[in-house]
Structure 1
């Protein structure tokens, strides 16, 4: 379970969270308090906390605020893998709230279930309108329910790409036939950003190791691509299905994350003005951000001051634009922005984590003599992506000390990168 962002309310005690869940909505100062409590109890897997979460799921008050709490409580029970919650979660599959049904299906998959009656109830949801078919299909595949294969196959031609790709994946997993999995690859260049993001998860679920280079070139956030490649590396390298050398190329490209490494899905009919391009850096579709980034590099080499102005006005607090601006300041060699880039390297805000890796690459591009010390200081981080980025940056600066330090790192990918650097000539 990814736990970097779970304990985001450190001042909230278990006792207070439980108390909040039992408090009627009308008695709360803020309607969101019970939702926060349901989310926070993932950090306290005690029997009392579980009882409070179960009570929250069984609270059938139809008010929207309560429905939202029920959804979060089901999700938390799933994250905690509470087996005794299965009967309550199963009952939620019949609820009229489709979002609660989706969370219930997901939670059953997290907890694990081999009861054919429950699995058949899950499958029956595929015949109900307006359900979250992707989540249901993923859960059935994860639980290995082969009787659902035929009914899932009907969704392979869904007009909704994330559903179609999930169905292709599930049929492959349940039938054992991998030949059809290559049909997933075109989704990596689909115009719909959700299709691109979703198929990376599908390729992970399929353990389709051959897709690593294609994932690296997919124009979505580096977070999605790194998650996919790292999962496939962790699964494939120990069994010899893929070598670290094969993985390394994809990782390097995603960590450096220059838009020239990507296969774009968008085009401009004309070259936009710089102001328009900077606005594109705030898009939630990173495919558009990467196209804007490449266009700025190609056509606006003096964009540094405008980028800094945008950063100071809004980008400092927008984690997407923050990332792209930091990268651009490096590629444009805008040394006047060194303080911004160093600040990004040491930014501890969880949502801005990917900007730390971006800053490492940007600092290497800036080439300041003080840079190696900043980069080496990050090699004791718990964030493997940051350490990997620092190794690439230090190699770019022809500084071998980072690789020597990282030879003892706790993360095998970081160690493998360091070993490769120590045995290969320095890059120029």
Structure 2
């Protein structure tokens, strides 16, 4: 049986046979309490009747033992990802569980399986009255399944005190009934003070499917990964311009991620010290990090450099700090001469293959390295543009964006040969950029004599 491996799979590998054997092992013989969970996780990579039967047995188990309770949720998820329609009745029975997390994953699974059982819809609707449940997911599932009869209950939640519930209800009412009267309230959610609420607001915009909210979404101060997901979801196929937005202009800005292009939530009451601002780059709230970068760009780089060196090794262990260091290195260009090699080494550290392919700082690192060392960066271009060696589309796009200023310079025109294959790239945004670069280069080239 072929294994369907996820790029985010970091658990120790198990074969289908090994996973099935673990699920047949009595609890008191398990090596670790997490073994059932690990087995259920890996089984979902092996489609087929054996896998489905094993996961179904786990879902139908009434054991209250912790290893089973934990694994049961993963089994529900696995059956949904395997599109096992026969599992709908068993998953539906999980909606009556006293465990709200099992109820949550079951509601999501029924959505994924396109459950059209009105009795299960009714159970999900009744759960909306229970504040102990994850009502946001229940709303999303009912809306996705097109359960119009749920609209009256969902409408009452548009004024819920919890932003995540409120936003999901606003999006659902538009999706189920076409009610636009309160849809623009989602824009306000994009600027909520708590970052998680801003993340949820972007998903609400995606769920609503309303293109008119895209411009505000692109200015939300959150990780670019969330904004990229919204763009990919809302932008029409094979369309270069929509309303007053140009796809490539939007994408270029997303890759550069200049803080000035965002509507930052936070402000400083007093001018902070350089040390404080650098420390902010290690924070978890991206609005605060962007504000710190925005403020640091007006400071003296010769005074900043020693402060950065003090936390250099610490930054190399912090995903967010690596990302914002990359932006800072492009926002400020007149660093001390001795800093150039250090920055280049930092870029190569961030681009190392040991990091996950889909990590957010890799595209930023490509742009920064090309900024400081174009000749060295171009020697890696074929790797960055290859979908097999560089599976994250944003890395391939960043590489194209990085070489764009070089294409019209004397001696750099040969770079155009590197991008010819990307005109057929698996991702539509990369295809659009590659075709645009070729067209612009041809248009700017002098006519042949």
Shift of 1:201: 1.3
Q: What pairs with 1:101-112 in structure 2 (closer than 5 Å)?
A: 101-112=103-114
CA distance in 2, matches of 1:133, 1:171: 15
Determine if contact 1:378/1:390 at 8 Å carries over to the other structure: yes
The equivalent residue for 2:336 is: none
CA distance in 1, matches of 2:420, 2:308: 36
The equivalent residue for 2:447 is: none
Kindly tell me: are residues 53 and 142 of structure 1, through their superposed partners in 2, closer, same or farther at Cα, counting changes over 3 Å? Answer: same
Shift of 1:22: 2.9
Deviations 1:244-284 (A, max 9, x none): 96222222211111211111001122233333333322222
CA distance in 1, matches of 2:124, 2:296: 49
User: Could you tell me the TM-score, scaled by structure 1's length?
Assistant: 0.91
The structure having more radius of gyration, on CA atoms, is 2
Kindly tell me: are residues 37 and 278 of structure 1, through their superposed partners in 2, closer, same or farther at Cα, counting changes over 3 Å? Answer: farther
The equivalent residue for 1:148 is: 150
Out of 65, 68, 72, the residue aligned to residue 66 of structure 1 is: 68
Structure 1 SS opposite 2:52: helix
The equivalent residue for 2:439 is: 423
CA distance in 1, matches of 2:396, 2:358: 15
Determine if contact 1:244/1:416 at 8 Å carries over to the other structure: no
Out of 317, 338, 349, the residue aligned to residue 344 of structure 2 is: 338
User: Could you tell me the TM-score, scaled by structure 2's length?
Assistant: 0.87
The equivalent residue for 2:268 is: 268
The equivalent residue for 2:395 is: 386
Please, which runs of 5 or more residues in structure 2 have no aligned partner? 334-338, 445-449
Q: Report which stretch shifted further, 417-426 or 320-329.
A: 417-426
Q: What pairs with 1:15-414 in structure 2 (closer than 5 Å)?
A: 15-233=17-235, 236-238=236-238, 242=242, 246-302=246-302, 303-313=304-314, 315-333=315-333, 334-336=339-341, 337-350=343-356, 353-380=359-386, 381-398=390-407, 401=416, 402-414=418-430
Kindly tell me: are residues 26 and 318 of structure 1, through their superposed partners in 2, closer, same or farther at Cα, counting changes over 3 Å? Answer: farther
Deviations 1:348-369 (A, max 9, x none): 4227622110101212332443
CA distance in 1, matches of 2:440, 2:107: 49
Please, which runs of 5 or more residues in structure 1 have no aligned partner? none
Whichever structure has more helix as a proportion of its residues is 1
CA distance in 1, matches of 2:66, 2:357: 28
Kindly tell me: are residues 123 and 383 of structure 1, through their superposed partners in 2, closer, same or farther at Cα, counting changes over 3 Å? Answer: same
Q: Report which stretch shifted further, 378-387 or 146-155.
A: 378-387
Determine if contact 1:185/1:211 at 8 Å carries over to the other structure: yes
Determine if contact 1:229/1:247 at 8 Å carries over to the other structure: no
The count of aligned residue pairs is 423
Kindly tell me: are residues 293 and 375 of structure 1, through their superposed partners in 2, closer, same or farther at Cα, counting changes over 3 Å? Answer: farther
Shift of 1:108: 0.5
Shift of 1:390: 0.9
Determine if contact 2:55/2:75 at 8 Å carries over to the other structure: yes
Deviations 1:151-208 (A, max 9, x none): 0011101111111110001011110234432221111111121221112111112221
CA distance in 2, matches of 1:72, 1:171: 30
Kindly tell me: are residues 4 and 256 of structure 1, through their superposed partners in 2, closer, same or farther at Cα, counting changes over 3 Å? Answer: farther
Q: Report which stretch shifted further, 100-109 or 261-270.
A: 261-270
Determine if contact 1:83/1:111 at 8 Å carries over to the other structure: yes
- The alignment's C-alpha RMSD in Å is 2.5
Q: Report which stretch shifted further, 385-394 or 418-427.
A: 418-427
Determine if contact 2:88/2:110 at 8 Å carries over to the other structure: yes
Kindly tell me: are residues 227 and 93 of structure 1, through their superposed partners in 2, closer, same or farther at Cα, counting changes over 3 Å? Answer: same
Kindly tell me: are residues 60 and 276 of structure 1, through their superposed partners in 2, closer, same or farther at Cα, counting changes over 3 Å? Answer: farther
Shift of 1:76: 1.6
Kindly tell me: are residues 422 and 46 of structure 1, through their superposed partners in 2, closer, same or farther at Cα, counting changes over 3 Å? Answer: same
CA distance in 2, matches of 1:81, 1:418: 36
Structure 2 SS opposite 1:350: coil
Shift of 1:10: 6.1
Determine if contact 2:13/2:42 at 8 Å carries over to the other structure: no
